[in-house]
Amino acid sequence: MEKTFENALNELENIVKELESGNVDLDEAINKYTEAMQLAKFCNEKLNDATAKVNKILTEDNELKEFKTDIGG
């Protein structure tokens, strides 16, 4: 199953709760922290990809093109 942004975010939230609880030994905390950083990177990349897609629109030729507005001047 492919990892989704939502699944990664839920995993990240669970890890943060575990670490905040203080009931994790040092070795496990280091592993959880490492996993959390990988999940945060994954989520950031997904958000950047989504932002890039939102900033483009399809032209009549079905080509992606930068979306520009002429608002404010």
The per-residue DSSP string of 6-57 comes to: HHHHHHHHHHHHHHHHT-S-HHHHHHHHHHHHHHHHHHHHHHHHHHHHHTEE
DSSP 5: H
pTM check: above 0.95: no
Give the per-residue pLDDT at 58: 54
- pLDDT per position as a tens digit, 26-56: 999 999 999 999 999 999 999 998 887 777 7
